[in-house]
Each structure stands twice: as structure tokens, then as C-alpha cells.
Structure 1
Amino acid sequence: MNNKGFTLVEFIVWSAMAVLISVGIISLFASIVKSYQYSYEQGSNAQDAQNILNLITNELRNAASITNLTNTEVDYTTSVNGTTENRKIYLGSGNNAHTIIYAVNNTITKELGVDRVKEFNFDPILTSNNKKEIKITLTMQNQQNSNLPLVQLSDTVVTLNDM
């Protein structure tokens, strides 16, 4: 009798172990990919939120005047090469929902944080001088997948010009 090869029991045990090891490796790989996606999204949102806040604070800090300020929008004027421009920053709606809109003279020139803005607020703070102090809060999250991270940043801007 030739005793070379595997018995049926050995083959079944080996196959079961191979399946268990494969499932473990696949689960580990899926977990690593999910963790990477989560971290990447969080970093991307944090960077974008910081860039958006920097743009808005610089704009408002140098505004010639703030003509309208609500919780979700600000209208202001600025002077560019001696020409007065009316500008507006607001949270979009409809096709632009979850997007910050930046408009110059009623023309949309930038769409910021496209489909990732969960909340966007302006909170005016009264000061004793003629300056305006505005707290800006921005919360970003991918609106296509609510399991991805929320990133919330805020900044306070004080206008350089008297209002």
C-alpha cells in the first residue's frame, strides 16, 4: 500500500484552516482600507476647512463695509484698484446645497467645500469700538457618506476698518 498523499480528513482540516486564515487576512485588509479612507477624509476636510476659513477671514478683515450679516451669509463691500465691489459669502441651497458660495457683484466666482459643508455660521460679537468682530464656524463632512468624520473649525475675525 502506498502511503503518499493526504487523507480526506487531513484535506478537510487543511481546507478549513486555509479558509479561516483567508477570511482573517481579508478582514484585516478591509479594516486597513476603511481606516485609511477615514483618516484621509478627515485630513482632507481639515485642510479644506482651514483654507476656507483663511479666505473668509482675510476677506472680512479687509472689507470696506459689511452691509448685511446673518447666521448663514455676509454681504460686504471691498475696494479693488479703486473700484468698489459688492461681495457675498453664503451657504448654498438647491444644486449648491452643502457648498459655500463666494460671489462678486452677484456673480458666483467660487464654490468652496463642494458637497461637504454640514454647517456654516456667522456669529456677530458686539464690541465697544467701531470694529466688527465675527465668529465663523465651519463643520465639514462628506454628505455622500455620513459614516465619515466630522471636522469642525472656527475662527474669529475683527474688521480692520470702522463699520
Structure 2
Amino acid sequence: MEHLDLAGKGLISDATVNLLLRKLVGQRTDVVYVNPTSLNVVVAGGFYYQTTHLKTFFYGLSTETVLLPVNCDGNHWCAIAIKLQEAAVLIYDPMGSSCMKVVRDLAKNVLSYLPPPPESKRRYHIRSYESDIGIETDSYNCGVFVLTMFEDVCGLGSPGKCNKGDLQYLRYRYMLKCL
């Protein structure tokens, strides 16, 4: 049932994002992801998120790429991707909205749970992910933008600049992956 929200023009659910991440990178040993329902980010009137459970999630990791899908207020997807080997923390908001501040603050909070950076790096650096897909101009494809960001960060490629038709194609492509 999760994949049905990909057929329409609506926000992709937490369950669908979780299923797609499992399909895209679930078999890989060099990539791990956080279930989107576990972050529960609330933005309205300030922001709230629960991250203490992530301490055990990061325990034992050393060189993996970590994907954190962030659903702000249940209506806008953003992302954090952490490349432990490179000590890089990439943050992404497809619309460049005010949620970016929340995502940056969440990334700063998560830093305390990360393993020490590699010896060649002194510390983790948080920076914005530069997308070649474009900027989200509607209110429902943010999940598609985030999933393409995750694919790119994991070395699966990027579709490049997308128009509305391309974004609908990507939604169908993701729907097929769910089957």
C-alpha cells in the first residue's frame, strides 16, 4: 500500500520513504539509514526533535554513509547525509525554506553521536548539498528530491536538471521499486 502515494501529487509518506530506502540501499554494507518516523521533527513555533536514541544507532559505525530523512511538521521532506569516511555532513532542503535552519540544528545535535572523524580530518564539517536536479517549486515533490539526493550521495547517480514531467517519471520509477 505504501507505494500508492507515489502515483499522485501528494507528499510521500514516512512509510514509503522507509520502504524506498530499504529497496535502494538496504542490501549495501557501506550505507545505513534512519527510519524517518524515529526523528519526529516538529517545526511550528520553534522546533522539537528526539535524537537520544541515535546514540546507539551510530555505535560501531566507522566508514559508512548515513542517511537521515527529515520530515518537518509532517509536510516537507529535507535530508541529512553523513559521510563518515570524509567527515562530511551534507544538509538539504529542496525548497531552500526555513526548514534548513532546523535541519542544520538537527545535524549539529547529531554530531555528538558520531564516531571520531578519520585521522586525516580534524572534525566534521556541515555544508549544504548542492543539487543539480533544481529547486522544488511545488509543494509535493520534496520527497522525490530527497530520494534523488540520497541516490547521488551513495554513488547511484543523479538524474540532472528535472522538469515536472521528469519528476513524475521519478515518482513512477520509485513506485516500481516498491513492487
Q: Same fold (TM over 0.5)?
A: no
What is the TM-score of this pair, normalised by structure 2? Answer: 0.25
* Greater Rg by CA: 1
**Higher RCO (C-alpha under 8 Å, 6+ residues apart):** 2
